[in-house]
Amino acid sequence: MVDHIKILKAKGIWTVRAGGAVIAETKNALELREGDRDAVIYIPQGDVAMAFLDKTAMTTHCPYKGDANYFSVVTKSRTLENVAWTYEDPNAAVAEIKGHLAFYQLPEVTIEQI
């Protein structure tokens, strides 16, 4: 594994809410810590209501994790552009996050442990 990245099983139950709706809930979240950055919670895709998400054309590259693909979340009142991402084919050092989604914490999107 890359020395400055740690992936741990996140304790407890995690939810993601957007536009007032629960779009994810899981006991199987992963916590990715990268250097001194805030931890990022990755939710298994099978625990995300994918009907609320639309894949976009946006991609980014991380030399440690690989290429990220993005999703927008469609709520009743609006579309939240590119607020979720996944590494469909992550680098071997972080292979555990394959099949997981992470979400930006925003006023309209909350990620919390319950």
Strand partners, 110: 17
DSSP 52: G
Please report, for the chain, the start and end positions of each structural domain, with discontinuous segments joined by +: 5-113
**In tens digits, what is the pLDDT along the chain, a chain of 114 residues?**
468 899 999 999 999 999 889 999 999 999 999 989 999 999 999 999 999 999 999 999 999 999 999 999 999 889 999 999 999 999 999 999 999 999 999 999 999 999
pLDDT tens-digit series, residues 16-45 = 999 889 999 999 999 999 989 999 999 999
Q: Which CATH architecture has domain 5-113?
A: Beta Complex (2.170)
Average pLDDT, the chain: 95
The letter for the amino acid at 1 is: M
Per-residue pLDDT at 20: 87
Phi-psi region of 16 (alpha: psi -120 to 50; beta: other; left: phi over 0): beta
- What DSSP element (H or E) covers 101? strand 100-103
